[in-house]
């Protein structure tokens, strides 16, 4: 029995506690309850939880940099020298030369004039849309964009118009409908729950024709796609004029935490002046910037190329095996390889069954994905080896639906 706080009841006001209780019942019935599971330890692709060792096929550490010795050493050195907290917001006294070094490295890597460090990808997207868009402006988005892009448009008070997934002509029509007000077209570079790559070259053309700004959220493309891992815009042949503003998160392929928004100087400067999620929050710990700088240097160098090769081989091995098993793969060439099972209960059962085979594959349910599109979101990394991929395939072949 959960203990409830007591609130005075009046006849006028709907009860917040009654509403919570009703939602709880609804969630139980819809198999939509989410549960935390603490990791005790990690070793390569294996994690220990509740006294068991599970092979992790749900994390986003695509290049295996989260536990890279050079990255750990950079964090430890910088923490020893500079302490842990940044002690203030960037524009107060929290901005450190290590933050500058990371921003400069990113600008160079992405071939963009300027880069700005945010606390996380979620905060960055809220800040970018709030800072650039006014009430009444138009924000056109792919229907499968990440939740924080939708939230950012709402926060800005912009008119949000979504187009069917990856439908370039529909994006063009959405932009044409409302000609007054400034317009921004935004898309995930790699879709976080589907793994496919947005048609960025075509969308850049659509944005250009409509006088709209294109903003690419490359949370999952950075480090994994394009020459030297520079991400999905580079992979689609877009330079800084085609992709004038882009997001890279530091918590996925780079194995850290935080986010960078890179682009044209006027745009990035505007974010520094106006993005509330930049202005009114404590700067990232400088040691984390130092660790990410080490991660970026690995990711864009020869070691990164080798990791991307290993990753590509693992993805190919998984897809080849999955096709032979007749599994319903999505058209994805990235580390995100979901298997859509449909309803929540079936997907939870499948996840539980994989768990019994020693594999951690999380069931992703609405509202993270559309209703009726629950899935096993399998992620493949450079750290997996052939035998581990084969273990996954073997366990999948034993699912009733497989
Ligand atoms: C993970 C993710 C984010 C949020 O980034 P965090 O740094 O985890 O807050 C934003 N956009 C997309 C597409 C993502 O997948």
pLDDT over threshold 90, residue 316: yes
**CA distance linking residue 293 with residue 65, whole number of Å:** 12
Name the residue with the closest Cα to ligand 1, atom 4: 121
**CA distance linking residue 285 with residue 78, whole number of Å:** 10
Q: What are phi and psi of 48, to 5 degrees?
A: -105, 130
Query: Average of pLDDT values for 378-384?
Result: 98
The whole-number pLDDT of residue 180 equals 81
pLDDT over threshold 50, residue 382: yes
Strands (E), 174-326: 183-188, 213-217, 245-249, 259-263
Write down the residue that tokens 């929540």 correspond to: 344
Annotated catalytic residues are 192, 220, 252
Contact between 158 and 137 (Cβ < 8 Å) = yes
Q: What is the mean pLDDT of the chain?
A: 95
The whole-number pLDDT of residue 402 equals 43
The whole-number pLDDT of residue 19 equals 95
- For ligand 1, say whether the CB of 121 is within 6 Å of any of its atoms: yes
Name the residue with the closest Cα to ligand 1, atom 6: 121
Q: How many H helices and E strands in the chain?
A: 14, 14
Q: Which of 59, 121, 277 to mutate to test ligand 1, by most ligand atoms within 8 A of the CB atom? A: 121
Residue 96 sits at the vertex; the CA angle it makes with 133 and 88, to the nearest 5 degrees, is 70
pLDDT over threshold 50, residue 220: yes
* pLDDT > 70 fraction of the chain, expressed in percent and rounded: 99
Spell out the alpha helix ranges (H) of 83-120.
Answer: 97-110
pLDDT over threshold 70, residue 4: no
The whole-number pLDDT of residue 13 equals 87
Record the tokens describing residue 87, joined without a space: 């002690």
Contact between 200 and 187 (Cβ < 8 Å) = yes
The whole-number pLDDT of residue 1 equals 46
SS3 138: strand
Name the residue with the closest Cα to ligand 1, atom 10: 121
**CA distance linking residue 164 with residue 373, whole number of Å:** 15
Residue 276 backbone class (left: φ over 0; alpha: ψ -120 to 50; beta: rest): alpha
Query: Average of pLDDT values for 254-277?
Result: 98
CA 399 to centroid of chain Cα atoms:
28
DSSP string, 255-276: -S--EEEEE-HHHHHHHHHH-H
Query: Average of pLDDT values for 211-224?
Result: 98
- How far CA 337 is from CA of 292, 393, 394, in Å, comes to 26, 12, 16
pLDDT over threshold 70, residue 29: yes
pLDDT tens by residue, 76-128: 999 999 999 999 999 999 999 999 999 999 999 999 999 999 999 999 999 99
Q: How much distance in Å is there from the Cα of 249 to the middle of ligand 1?
A: 6
Q: How much distance in Å is there from the Cα of 152 to the middle of ligand 1?
A: 13
- For ligand 1, say whether the CB of 146 is within 6 Å of any of its atoms: yes
Between the two ends of the chain, the Cα-to-Cα distance in Å is 39
Number of Cβ within a 10 Å radius of residue 168: 15
- For ligand 1, say whether the CB of 368 is within 6 Å of any of its atoms: no
pLDDT tens by residue, 134-179: 999 999 999 999 999 999 999 999 999 999 999 999 999 999 987 7
- How far CA 390 is from CA of 19, 52, 57, 306, 315, in Å, comes to 46, 20, 12, 21, 12
Query: Average of pLDDT values for 265-276?
Result: 98
Q: Which of 118, 148, 247, 295 to mutate to test ligand 1, by most ligand atoms within 8 A of the CB atom? A: 148
The whole-number pLDDT of residue 342 equals 94
Task: Name the pLDDT band for 283 (thresholds 50, 70, 90).
Answer: very high
250 Cα nearest atom in ligand 1: 7
């Amino acid at each position: 029995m959960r203990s409830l706080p007591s609130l005075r009841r009046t006849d006028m006001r709907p009860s917040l506690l009654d509403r919570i209780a009703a939602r709880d019942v609804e969630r139980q019935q819809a198999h939509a309850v989410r549960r935390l599971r603490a990791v005790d330890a990690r070793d390569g692709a294996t994690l220990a939880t509740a006294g068991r060792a599970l092979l992790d096929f749900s994390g986003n550490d695509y290049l295996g940099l989260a536990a890279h010795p050079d990255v750990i050493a950079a964090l430890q050195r910088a923490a020893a020298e500079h302490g842990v907290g940044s002690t203030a917001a960037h524009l107060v006294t929290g901005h450190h030369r290590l933050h500058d070094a990371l921003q400069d490295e990113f600008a160079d890597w992405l071939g963009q004039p300027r880069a700005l460090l945010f606390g996380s990808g979620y905060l960055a997207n809220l800040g970018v849309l709030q800072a650039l868009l006014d009430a009444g402006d138009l924000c056109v988005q792919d229907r499968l964009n990440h939740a924080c892009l939708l939230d950012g448009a709402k926060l800005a008070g912009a008119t949000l118009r979504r187009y069917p997934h990856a439908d370039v002509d529909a994006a063009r029509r959405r932009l044409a409908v409302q000609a007054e007000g400034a317009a921004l077209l935004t898309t995930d570079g790699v879709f976080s729950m589907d793994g496919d790559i947005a048609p960025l070259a075509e969308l850049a053309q659509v944005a250009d024709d409509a006088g709209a700004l294109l903003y690419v959220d490359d949370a999952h493309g950075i480090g994994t796609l394009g020459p030297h891992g520079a991400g999905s815009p580079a992979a689609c042949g877009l330079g800084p004029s085609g992709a004038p503003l882009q997001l890279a998160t530091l918590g996925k392929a780079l194995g850290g935490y935080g986010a960078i928004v890179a682009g044209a100087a006027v745009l990035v400067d505007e974010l520094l002046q106006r993005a509330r999620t930049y202005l009114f929050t404590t700067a990232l710990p400088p040691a984390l910037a130092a660790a990410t700088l080490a991660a970026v240097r690995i990711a864009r160098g020869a070691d990164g190329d080798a990791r991307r090769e290993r990753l590509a081989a693992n993805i190919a091995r998984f897809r080849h095996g999955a096709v032979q098993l007749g599994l319903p793969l999505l058209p994805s060439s990235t580390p995100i390889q979901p298997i859509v099972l449909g309803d929540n209960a079936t997907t939870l059962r499948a996840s539980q069954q994989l768990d019994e085979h020693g594999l951690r594959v999380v069931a992703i349910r609405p509202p993270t994905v559309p209703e009726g599109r629950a899935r096993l979101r399998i992620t493949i990394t450079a750290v997996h080896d052939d035998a581990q991929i084969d273990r996954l395939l073997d366990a999948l072949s034993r699912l009733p639906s497989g």
